[in-house]
Amino acid sequence: MLFTYDGIVVGRREIGDNSCFIDILTDEQGIVEATAHGAKKMNSALLSSASLFSYSTFCLNKTKLRYTVNSAKPKYSFHEIGSDIEKLALASYFAQAVKFCTPEEQNQDSMVRFFAIALFEINKAKRLETVRSAFEFRYSAMLGYRPDLRACFNCGCYEHDEMFFLPSRGEIVCGDCFDRDYGGRYFVLPKETLSALRNILYAPLDRAFRFNISGDAAAVLSRVTESYFLSHTERTFPALEYYKGIRIDNIV
């Protein structure tokens, strides 16, 4: 039986000299693993579409529980990410994240578009750390871990000189309402950081990655989004550790 999906290759494993398994991120089925026969041959019609981060329309043949790539038509290539080791490392972390966290065989609203935007932003980014934060926080929300950052949960104020984020509760609370004996984990958010988090969460997908932040506020943003994503997905990602290890500018 044939199925056609638009998707992005987020994983690839070699089989023998000529073929490979590819993991395709799709909106319809989450991650689909398919065999791409002969994809490594130089004259293969699948050579480009079966490469990592290729965005293509895949026609898949399903027999029992296995998919095979019947044909593929490239839509967009992010191959230039591979020419920059930091960008490649960050894209690999995103790929590992969606591969392990996206539910299988469930419709994923706008997931392919979100991932394509993330790769596009990596490609042209000057500050990879803000791209990473936007991905971690918005993707957490897409997975169902959606905090409420609209206002202090107690008094409803939008801004305050001191604003605290309680990640386990997914809430913010102002300095007047915050229980100073609170025993759980919390972050003190600079105004710029809260504004960036609100943009990531509430802006349309194509603007979620667009915000300016610098200095200490950017450093807090990185800590908040990484902690939020890893604690809610209850995972570690070797690709994230690799990315952090090779960053030339380890100071945000």
- Please tell me whether residue 153 binds Zn ion under the rule CB under 5 A: no
The single residue among 15, 85, 155, 246 that binds Zn ion, judged by CB under 5 A, is 155
- Closer of 161 and 234 to Zn ion (Cβ): 161
Q: Contact region for Zn ion (CB under 5 A) — 93-101, 129-137, 145-153, 197-205?
A: 145-153
The single residue among 45, 59, 125, 177 that binds Zn ion, judged by CB under 5 A, is 177
State the minimum distance, in angstroms, from the CB of residue 231 to Zn ion.
Answer: 24
The single residue among 111, 174, 196, 217 that binds Zn ion, judged by CB under 5 A, is 174
State the minimum distance, in angstroms, from the CB of residue 200 to Zn ion.
Answer: 22
**Binders of Zn ion in range 9-48 (CB under 5 A):** none
- Closer of 45 and 177 to Zn ion (Cβ): 177
- Please tell me whether residue 148 binds Zn ion under the rule CB under 5 A: no
- Please tell me whether residue 154 binds Zn ion under the rule CB under 5 A: yes
**How many residues of this chain interact with Zn ion, rule: CB under 5 A?**
5
- Closer of 179 and 206 to Zn ion (Cβ): 179
User: What is the 3-state secondary structure of the chain?
Assistant: CEEEEEEEEEEEEEECCCEEEEEEEECCCEEEEEEECCCCCCCCCCCCCCCCCEEEEEEEEEECCEEEEEEEEEEEECHHHHHCHHHHHHHHHHHHHHHHHCCCCCCCCCHHHHHHHHHHHHHHCCCHHHHHHHHHHHHHHHCCCCCEEEEECCCCCCCCCCEEEECCCCEEEECCCCCCCCCCCCEECCHHHHHHHHHHHHCCHHHCCCCCCCHHHHHHHHHHHHHHHHHHHCCCCHHHHHHHHHCCCCCC
The single residue among 10, 20, 152, 200 that binds Zn ion, judged by CB under 5 A, is 152
Q: Which residues lie near Zn ion (CB under 5 A)?
A: 152, 154-155, 174, 177
